[in-house]
Structure 1
Amino acid sequence: MSQAYALWIDQQQADADAKRALAAEGYQLVCCADVTEVVTLCRDYQPALVFVGSTMAQMPLPELVALLSRKLPSAQIISMVTSDQSALASDSLQNGAIDYLVKPFFAAQLQTSVRNATAMRQGLKDLVAVSHASRQMLQLAHRAAQTQATVLILGESGTGKERLAQFIHQASERADKPFIAVNCAAIPEHMLEAMLFGHNKGAFTGAVNQQIGKFEAANGGSILLDEISELPLALQAKLLRVLQEREVERLGSNSRIKLDIRVIAASNKNLRSQVEQGLFREDLFYRLDVLPLSWPALRERRDDILPLAEFFLQKYGNGKYRLSQTAADVMQQYNWPGNVRELENVMQRALVMARGIELQVADLNLPHCHPQAAAFCASLLKQSKKNAEFDYILDVLNKFNGHRTRTAEALGVSTRALRYKLAAMREHGVDIDALAS
């Protein structure tokens, strides 16, 4: 088993208690007090955990966290701040940190944060989250998982709301208990009540046996009520009572069964709008809307597109296939109205249509996407990416008043690599000579 490393980036060195606490959790600590060493240490150790202090004068904490998020997309970053730096803590969370510790902290607090980070990483094993938007959402989901509160997941159809609900369950203390998913839109209305609450023998015509409901089956664990906006109004009132009283009655029974359960609801509709239209009970909405999470559409997290494609190629093609560069460019440009579900279907179809190990644009068979047009679109996309890269370098260069060494450090590249980039920018007509060197 390979050694797991934790990187400690702070001018104040980790004390003996912190080192022992991390060692007890299976991490060997590597300390760093100079930002210029960070990129090298990240490359050499590939740390699974990174602790970042707010005392690094060379770079503000949020920017350092953002740099680490780009360099170590699979690492869990925890910021370390003082009690008067709540704004810094918030900014670091928005830039990629999954948690923060307030100095001075005890070894037990450090271990709790490490265990939460480890649980989050384990939950991510089969969940692709590369883009900043999806990683930020997973940070919120992980925080929600540490509570017992009801969670409401909103998002377009096919974005992976059920997978996010599973992630919340797996990251919670209920992980070893049942996770039950119910699609409220897929079950006929006359069967839904009996399926949710259960029934006794003879409760209605056809009830020849006693049957426990989904709530009972999930007792001790979590239940996902997917597409909850499709729940009939009469059943919404009964659901509200279950959520309020935390108990359920089977149909045909007068006895109440106590529930210890985490409820997660999901919908592809705007429930607040549904309330205004009289299609959803307002009291139920506020009972569900305790911890709302809005899972972004795939077009809003484009950095996830190709990693997801690779995930499905591995899943259905045993890693034997790859995307051509043009196919990859076209996939990143496509808007994916069906979200992750559509992408999964496209990859399965492409594997069937493929004539070789490299998948081409024609194999994808995307709507309104012909190979000739795709090649032209791909060239435009490459130019757009190049322009965006040039703009970002200029922004960082301006921030450091043209100082090449500090700019290279902030970008995470060598000064030599930066010189090559600047030369390429000049060739493309970008005016950088006005900046001081």
Structure 2
Amino acid sequence: MANILLLDDEANVREVLSLSLGSFGHDVTSIATPNEAVQMLEQQTFDVVITDLRMDGEDKGLDVVRQAKSIQPHVIVLLLTAYASAETAVEAMRNGAFDYITKPVSRTELGDIIERALAAKDISPTHQSLEETMATAETKGTLIGDSHVIQRVRDRIQRAAKRDFTVLITGESGTGKELAARLVHEQSPRNHGPFVPVHCGAIPENLFESELFGYVKGAFTGADSDKTGLVESADGGTLFLDEIGEMPLLIQVKLLRVLQDMRVRRVGSEHEIQVDVRIVAATNRNLEAEVQAGNFREDLFYRLNVIPVHMPSLRQRREDIPALVQALMQRCGGRNVFISDACMQKLSNLPLAGNVRELENTLQRLLALSDDDALDIHLIDELQNPNATPEINLNHLQEQGISLDTQLEHIEKALVEEALAQTKNNATQAAKHLGISFRSMRYRMQKLGLKEEK
């Protein structure tokens, strides 16, 4: 049973949804205004908040999303709307919404969404990525590992943090580029300001300009009020542009103007707004090659590459893998699981083309398939050849002592991980490869403890 706060300005909608939610055994508090929502959130703890988007003719639901996550950071927020659009979805998710529900909603669909939301709430503390684990450690001024290459990275980050110039972080996928960006911010004089991460590959091209620079009321159909862009949101702090190589050329021109003048112009406005933002960018691409190919502006590349930081692959610092494994095991709930020297050696010798992210996935799979008290060293060889299709029959299930549901989950996770690997961890593209909807993809990732790259 969940404690649910329901906000909708239509009494009949509140009544129908309250009855539906109550039939599932949930405790529902229904209210009519955003002010009441804030008061309730300050007085009582909720598992889920369901809020209407349009109230009194305005998109007040987005403000409720932000306020709810600010007052109760761990609450799951669902946006209820009859006006669903790609832009609404992007804005809602960026402000912390778990999902949006399109009106009218059936009782079955409502029950399924609440079930997924509660499942995500239950697993979220134990399935944080290693980058988040390391970010927690980094607030204490440490990087995991003592290799010479990671020591050089640590020194470069400290030097970059002291100087208010743009930083370009390079490295393969899964090496911790966002972690490095957060460290630059946390160790800089701007650490009192916001750190605003933006994944350039996750924003649809037609929404890029309005997301980065904002817009004014009436700028286009659906622009019912002014909106602050991500650049403005980072004022006084750091804007982290992850996978900058995927930014469209037209937006690159506009970003160059921001770097030169520290001014932004919202879509539809004739006025410029002064900002004070430090830009840290990251990419797994060779931007110099992209410049030669005409895919990236040369002038923007030199503006970004004032202080370069290169994140080494795990293959360049294998001596750090044991420490990373121990950190991951604690985060994955396997702190008491025995790892033999031979097992650790095998882990250290894996190809690990996906770096930290691949190591994390490997350990999660080992924990799921091994006995409770020790990692199965023999499974590592099996995982090194993921394309091999094992014979699956009833005898196999009985010998392994696993159920059909467990076997199907293993197969599902392997296919989802393969799709994510092929699309560089882009959930939208991976969903297309698997022939499922983005919402279904996101649900499966949350159920399986997988995370899309940030």
Of the three residues 366, 383, 394, the one matched with 1:366 is 383
**Equivalent position amino acid for 1:129 in 2:** G
Aligned to 2:333: 317
Aligned to 2:367: 351
Of the three residues 150, 170, 184, the one matched with 2:200 is 184
Q: Deviations over 1:361-380 (max 9, x none)?
A: 234452239xxxxxxxxxxx
Matched residue count: 251
Of the three residues 272, 280, 285, the one matched with 1:269 is 285
1:157 aligns with 2:173: yes
Of the three residues 127, 141, 148, the one matched with 2:164 is 148
Deviation for aligned residue 1:225: 0.5
Give, in whole Å, the separation in 1 of the partners of 2:205 and 2:137: 39
Unaligned runs of 5+ in 1: 1-119, 370-437
**Equivalent position amino acid for 1:337 in 2:** A
- The structure with the largest alpha-carbon Rg is 1
1:305 aligns with 2:321: yes
1:289 aligns with 2:289: no
**Equivalent position amino acid for 2:336 in 1:** K
Deviation for aligned residue 1:332: 1.0
**Equivalent position amino acid for 2:154 in 1:** L
Q: Which 4+ residue blocks in structure 1 deviate beyond 6 angstroms?
A: none
1:149/1:291 contact within 8 Å kept = yes
Q: After superposition, where does 1:93-242 map in structure 2 within 5 Å?
A: 123=139, 127-242=143-258
Give, in whole Å, the separation in 2 of the partners of 1:223 and 1:322: 41
Give, in whole Å, the separation in 2 of the partners of 1:306 and 1:122: 18
Give, in whole Å, the separation in 1 of the partners of 2:138 and 2:300: 33
1:199/1:210 contact within 8 Å kept = yes
Q: After superposition, where does 1:46-85 map in structure 2 within 5 Å?
A: none
Q: Deviations over 1:132-153 (max 9, x none)?
A: 1011111111101001000000
User: What is the CA RMSD across the aligned residues, in angstroms?
Assistant: 2.0
Q: Deviations over 1:316-359 (max 9, x none)?
A: 11522232222211111112000111111111222211213221
Give, in whole Å, the separation in 2 of the partners of 1:285 and 1:122: 28
Of the three residues 311, 321, 333, the one matched with 2:349 is 333
Deviation for aligned residue 1:121: 8.7
Unaligned runs of 5+ in 2: 1-135, 387-454
Deviation for aligned residue 1:129: 2.8
1:182/1:226 contact within 8 Å kept = yes
Q: Deviations over 1:229-250 (max 9, x none)?
A: 1111111100100110011111
Give, in whole Å, the separation in 1 of the partners of 2:326 and 2:343: 12
**Equivalent position amino acid for 2:383 in 1:** L
Residues 1:125 and 1:327: Cα distance change in structure 2 (over 3 Å): farther
Give, in whole Å, the separation in 2 of the partners of 1:209 and 1:127: 43
1:313/1:322 contact within 8 Å kept = no
Give, in whole Å, the separation in 1 of the partners of 2:344 and 2:353: 17
SS in 1 for 2:273: strand
Give, in whole Å, the separation in 2 of the partners of 1:209 and 1:121: 40
1:198/1:212 contact within 8 Å kept = yes
Deviation for aligned residue 1:216: 0.8
Aligned to 2:269: 253
**Equivalent position amino acid for 1:226 in 2:** D
2:350/2:384 contact within 8 Å kept = no
2:143/2:154 contact within 8 Å kept = no
2:175/2:314 contact within 8 Å kept = yes
Give, in whole Å, the separation in 2 of the partners of 1:286 and 1:224: 17
SS in 2 for 1:358: coil
State, as a whole percentage, how many aligned pairs show the same letter. Answer: 44
Give, in whole Å, the separation in 2 of the partners of 1:169 and 1:320: 34
1:349/1:363 contact within 8 Å kept = no
1:124/1:167 contact within 8 Å kept = no
2:196/2:234 contact within 8 Å kept = yes
SS in 2 for 1:293: strand
**Equivalent position amino acid for 1:352 in 2:** A
Residues 1:126 and 1:320: Cα distance change in structure 2 (over 3 Å): farther
Deviation for aligned residue 1:205: 2.0
Residues 1:126 and 1:146: Cα distance change in structure 2 (over 3 Å): closer
TM-score, structure 2 as length reference: 0.53
1:200/1:252 contact within 8 Å kept = yes
SS in 2 for 1:191: helix
Deviation for aligned residue 1:122: 5.5
Residues 1:266 and 1:135: Cα distance change in structure 2 (over 3 Å): same
**Equivalent position amino acid for 1:315 in 2:** R
Q: Deviations over 1:170-189 (max 9, x none)?
A: 11111121001000011111
1:150/1:291 contact within 8 Å kept = yes
Residues 1:266 and 1:325: Cα distance change in structure 2 (over 3 Å): same
Give, in whole Å, the separation in 2 of the partners of 1:368 and 1:264: 37
SS in 1 for 2:235: coil
